[in-house]
Amino acid sequence: MTNVTREQRRGRLHGSSTRSISRSQAKSAHDSCEVQLGKFVILIERRHIPFAMNERT
C-alpha cells in the first residue's frame, strides 16, 4: 500500500514537472514544423517558378 501511494505521489510530481517541459518541447516541435513547412514551400516554389516563367514567355 505504501509503495503504491509513493509511486502515485512520484507520478503526480513527475506529471506536474513534465507539463512545463512538454510545453517547451511542443513549442520547439512547432518551430521545427514551421521550418520544415517553409523548406517545403521553397522547394515547391523552386519547382514551379521555371514552369511559370516558361508559360509567360
Q: What pTM was estimated for this model as a whole?
A: 0.35
For residue 53, the model assigns a pLDDT of 63
Distance CA 33, CA 14 (A): 27
Hey, what's the cell of 43? 522547394
* pLDDT given for residue 13 in this prediction: 56
- Backbone Cα Rg of the chain: 24
- Give tens-digit pLDDT for 1-57: 566 666 666 555 555 555 565 677 777 877 887 888 888 888 877 776 666 666 665
What is the residue whose three cell numbers read 514552369? 51
Which three cell numbers, joined as nine digits, stand for 15?
A: 506529471
